[in-house]
Structure 1
Amino acid sequence: MIVVCEYMSPGGLARLQESGLGVFYDPELWKDRAALKAHLAGALALIVRNQTRVDAELLAAAPHLRAVGRLGAGLDNIVQPDLEARGVVLCHARGLNATAVAEYVLAAMLHLARNLAKAAAHVAAGGWDRSAFGGFELAGKTLGLLGLGEVGLRVARRARALGMRVLAADPARQPWEAVVEDLGIELCEVPQLLARARFLSLHAPLTPETRYLIRAETLTQMPRGAYLINTARGELVHSADLAKALWEGHLAGAVLDVVEPEPLPESHPLRGVPNLYITPHIAGLTAEAQEAVGLWVAEGVLRALGVEA
């Protein structure tokens, strides 16, 4: 039996069902940990997204488990040493939603620059003030990328096509790398990135060093009127400090697809903040990305269980 306790694309689910191993699919099962444990008693594999914490406590309820599939790139909810201790294979879809996330970042920059939603709402309310919604062009503006992995590179390629200057800070990258040279990306240290970027887009992993990297101290290093976009991890940003920077007008706006915690509580400091746009962790959820991720994870789990394609 393969247990899928969060949403999985139809194609990926169909591939699992073709295997003949038996599939229990309930995209809401993650909400009831006791019920999930009960279903894992005879399971050979478990497939999750980002809501289910897979740790020793959960694995103890799954004595026959041989594989865990993660429908996405991040592994914050997977305690990998616990899987390794049990000999459980981990299959995840790193990078398959990179194009979707990159296009989200592009959409966020265009929204911040032109704000079509506010202009449309103005007209819907009976207005026609053309001088209030001209916005500005992305061409010639500087984009700073904090992290230059698969998503960051795709963002850089698209931003360069629009005529933007692109800076990046990533200790794993070197200026002589072909991809960095070909895309015309200028590598720099984080303080330089913060000081020069009109748009700052976060693409760093969550580590002890990057937790709350964007906080009062670093926000003040950004130019007044700059914009922040975060599609990486909510914990990269100190929420209260970001709210203060927006309320005081130091930042002109921000788009967050990830927050801490998720979902956002009613009493959270980011509620009601001006020029802040929060989406429910959807950057990588295009139909194309989800189908690719679902198929990739399904095939990986089946291989781990000894099922040939």
Structure 2
Amino acid sequence: MKILITPKSFGNYREKTYPLLTGAGYEIIENTTGRTLTEDEIIKLAKDDVVGIIVGIDPLTAKVLKSCRKLRAVSKYGVGMDNIDLTAAEKLGIKVKNAAGSNSVSVAELAIALMFEAARRVAVMSATVKLGGWDRVLGIELTGKTLGLIGCGHIGKEVAKRAKGLLMDVQVYDPYFGDEEFLEKYAVKRCASLNELLSTSDIVSLHLPLTNETRHLINSRTIQAMKKSAILINTSRGELVDEDSLYTALKEKTIAVAAQDVFSKEPPLPGEKLLTLTNFILTPHAGAFTAEAVEKMAIYSTKNLIEMLKH
């Protein structure tokens, strides 16, 4: 009856989480490498007697899941589950659940921060001053701009609420969204098509999961629908954006700025061409990395695992 815990930061909250696991009769196996585990490392640790895994971004592929003979449940330390082969898990009868809602505020606040950075280039100006310069970058105001949210789940809703506080107009495209009360309460417009949202938004922010349907949703064709002055924000998954098309669009000024917290390969490979552009901003997948969100993710994922293993 062992539990494998892979996230590097999980141990910071062991006082609040480990007693829940040990009290339920489980022995804890920790990731002591200080980095993300490989498939073979997970198999080595969990192949014989691990019944549950609390996983971060480590790969739980079909190979891994099949190799863990006693595995009954996987609890995601976070929300995005594209590192877990959900189809294989279902076939194997392994329950999977994420820590929905645990990091919504933190990711939403970073999305807003990236909007301000793209609009005012604070980091660029600060770096210039520290090097002895005094050059200003002409910015834009967010007030009165139209923010288009592609996806309006937990995080999208939090972004919308904060954007309305900044006196922005907010619209969403999400064919799966059904909370009409939310739209009415916050005066958020629903777009009938993706093209409508892209062509009428000053800022486009992505808040949707990575699936076969959404992979490279932002590509050369959809970018062409956007305003030349548009700002693209991505705090969801790097693969939602075709990075070759984004590079071309930014270099040719087809859109103005892109600010992301995610990338297709994290960290980017040396010589990544997007990083050479002054109108491309990238942070190291830090959206959920706040004291509040990390603690909630640890507690939510622990409780989720215990609940799944009860049944």
TM-score (norm. length: structure 1): 0.91
Structure 1 residue 187 corresponds to structure 2 residue 193? no
Amino acid at match of 1:193: L
- Corresponding residue to 2:52 among 7, 20, 45: 45
Gaps of 5+ in 1: none
Distance 2:106 2:267 in 1: 21
Residues 43, 202 of structure 1: alpha-carbon distance in 2 compared, 3 angstrom cutoff: same
Give SS of 2:67's match.
coil
Distance 1:55 1:197 in 2: 38
Matches within 5 A, 1:150-229: 150-173=154-177, 177-188=180-191, 189-229=193-233
Matches within 5 A, 1:35-74: 35-40=41-46, 41-50=48-57, 52-74=58-80
- Corresponding residue to 2:109 among 78, 103, 108: 103
Amino acid at match of 1:282: A
Give SS of 2:70's match.
coil
- Corresponding residue to 2:28 among 23, 31, 47: 23
Count the aligned residue pairs: 303
Contact kept in structure 2, 1:12 and 1:296, CA below 8 Å: no
- Residue deviations 1:129-172 (CA, integer Å, cap 9, x gap): 4xx33522211111111111111111111001011011111112
In structure 1, the partner of 2:250 is 246
Offset at residue 99 of structure 1 (A): 0.7
Gaps of 5+ in 2: none
Offset at residue 215 of structure 1 (A): 1.0
In structure 1, the partner of 2:88 is 82
Offset at residue 98 of structure 1 (A): 0.8
Contact kept in structure 2, 1:74 and 1:94, CA below 8 Å: no
Contact kept in structure 2, 1:211 and 1:235, CA below 8 Å: yes
- CA RMSD, 1 decimal: 2.0
Residues 149, 304 of structure 1: alpha-carbon distance in 2 compared, 3 angstrom cutoff: closer
Offset at residue 217 of structure 1 (A): 1.2
- Corresponding residue to 2:125 among 119, 125, 130: 119
Amino acid at match of 1:180: L
- Residue deviations 1:208-227 (CA, integer Å, cap 9, x gap): 33221211111111111211
Distance 1:94 1:190 in 2: 25
Distance 1:184 1:89 in 2: 38
Give SS of 1:296's match.
helix
- Corresponding residue to 2:301 among 297, 302, 305: 297
Distance 2:119 2:36 in 1: 39
| Paired-residue identity, % | 34
Contact kept in structure 2, 1:145 and 1:167, CA below 8 Å: yes
- Residue deviations 1:50-91 (CA, integer Å, cap 9, x gap): 2x2223321233222222111111111112232233322223
Give SS of 1:254's match.
strand
Contact kept in structure 1, 2:150 and 2:207, CA below 8 Å: yes
Give SS of 1:77's match.
coil
Distance 1:205 1:187 in 2: 19
Residues 13, 229 of structure 1: alpha-carbon distance in 2 compared, 3 angstrom cutoff: farther
Residues 122, 19 of structure 1: alpha-carbon distance in 2 compared, 3 angstrom cutoff: closer
Contact kept in structure 2, 1:12 and 1:298, CA below 8 Å: no
Distance 2:133 2:270 in 1: 32
Residues 290, 82 of structure 1: alpha-carbon distance in 2 compared, 3 angstrom cutoff: same
TM-score (norm. length: structure 2): 0.90
Offset at residue 122 of structure 1 (A): 2.3
Offset at residue 275 of structure 1 (A): 1.1
